[in-house]
């Protein structure tokens, strides 16, 4: 299929209470594992890309890889830009074929975040591209952004209402609800009550950041509470490295590179399959694409 925008499929996922996985791709092998894993389980998928990864490979290269991979499968795939505070990068992604983008103004004072998010919203609406916007501060490390544990702040409910008021067609909303990027050191304190209150009053699907390391029960409660997009980056990066190294450990004298790439692919794809099952999106491709009730 051609790449799709994520808004309509996230709305369907939220209504039916399943989560669509959003994996942060690293290279072509990683994008292949993500898209082909989704195809194997007939699941919708979001391939998201960090700014650093885009700067490493180039806009056109990534856009072409993901578009070609998506065209070879019969499940809906969106190409999304993860956490970005730079309007120029957003513009270039849109021009290179991204179907959705995230503007992350969460480090700014509320009024400024709202104003800048609305400016990007006007741009994405004009381009027919979906937008994700964040408030509060999600802890941990993502790309070049670091939020210390004690600096992470839950989104304020009244600010959530005011934030989305003038962006009715926002594809997905990312209020900080207590999850964090990276491996968890202790148990995350997820504000389920806040999540449920937001979902009850704001008709926009919610993004769950910091998916790596959450338990099945935590995924279930977040998805039941309205999270429709579930982000996984750290575990995917870990599989990328460990999958490669496992081949070296098993066959120390191997001089052929392709078995390394195959081992890495298998490790990454296994995690993609596990997460799709954990989020309840196996077999939901046709539903997410609007081809089935």
- Contact residues: ligand 13P, CB under 6 A: 24, 82-83, 142, 181-182, 209-212, 231-235
3-state helix, strand, coil in the chain (%, to 5): 50, 15, 35
Provide the minimum distance between the beta carbon of 258 and ligand 13P in the complex, in angstroms, as a whole number.
Answer: 28
List the catalytic residue out of 82, 86, 150, 193.
Answer: 82
Cα atoms in the Cβ-side hemisphere of radius 13 Å centred on 72:
14
Cα atoms in the Cβ-side hemisphere of radius 13 Å centred on 147:
19
Could you list the beta-strand ranges (E) of 159-235. 172-175, 206-208, 227-232
Nearer to ligand 13P, 83 or 269 (CB): 83
Beta carbons of 102 and 131 less than 8 angstroms apart: yes
Nearer to ligand 13P, 38 or 84 (CB): 84
Tokens of 194: 């806040």
SS3 233: coil
Nearer to ligand 13P, 114 or 209 (CB): 209
Nearer to ligand 13P, 173 or 260 (CB): 173
The Cα 6–Cα 78 span in angstroms is 6
The Cα 64–Cα 165 span in angstroms is 35
Instruction: Give the strand pairing for 227-232 and 172-175.
Output: unpaired
Provide the minimum distance between the beta carbon of 78 and ligand 13P in the complex, in angstroms, as a whole number.
Answer: 14
**The dihedral formed by the CA atoms of 59, 135, 14 and 63, expressed in degrees to the nearest 10:** 0
Residue 82 annotated as catalytic: yes
User: What is the number of other CB atoms lying within 10 angstroms of the CB of residue 60?
Assistant: 12
Provide the minimum distance between the beta carbon of 275 and ligand 13P in the complex, in angstroms, as a whole number.
Answer: 10
Sign of CA dihedral 77, 125, 133, 191: negative
Nearer to ligand 13P, 67 or 209 (CB): 209
- Positions marked catalytic: 82
């Amino acid at each position: 299929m051609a790449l799709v925008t994520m808004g309509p499929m996230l709305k369907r996922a939220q209504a039916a209470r399943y989560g669509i996985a959003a994996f942060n791709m690293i290279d072509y092998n990683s994008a292949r594992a993500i898209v082909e894993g989704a195809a194997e389980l007939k699941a919708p998928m979001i391939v998201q890309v960090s700014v650093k990864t885009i700067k490493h490979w180039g806009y056109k290269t990534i856009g072409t890889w993901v578009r070609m991979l998506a065209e070879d499968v019969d499940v809906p795939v969106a190409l999304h830009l993860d956490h970005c505070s730079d309007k120029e990068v957003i513009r270039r992604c849109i021009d290179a074929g991204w179907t959705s983008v995230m503007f992350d103004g969460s480090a700014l004072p509320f009024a400024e975040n709202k104003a800048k998010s609305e400016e990007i919203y006007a741009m994405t609406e004009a381009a027919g591209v979906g937008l994700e916007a964040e408030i509060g501060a999600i802890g941990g490390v993502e790309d070049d952004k670091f939020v210390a544990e004690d600096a992470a702040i839950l989104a304020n409910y009244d600010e959530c209402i005011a934030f989305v008021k003038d962006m009715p067609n926002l594809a997905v909303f990312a209020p900080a609800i207590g999850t964090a990027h990276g491996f968890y050191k202790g148990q995350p304190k997820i504000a389920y009550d806040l999540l449920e209150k937001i979902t009850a009053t704001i008709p926009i699907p919610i993004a769950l950041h910091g998916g790596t390391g959450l338990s099945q029960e935590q995924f279930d409660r977040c998805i039941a509470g309205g999270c429709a997009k579930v982000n996984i980056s750290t575990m995917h990066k870990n599989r990328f490295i460990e999958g490669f190294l496992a081949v070296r450990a098993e066959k120390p004298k191997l001089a052929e590179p392709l078995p390394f790439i195959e081992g890495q692919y298998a490790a990454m794809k296994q995690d993609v399959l596990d997460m799709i099952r954990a989020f309840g999106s196996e077999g939901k491709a046709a539903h997410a694409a609007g081809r089935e009730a």
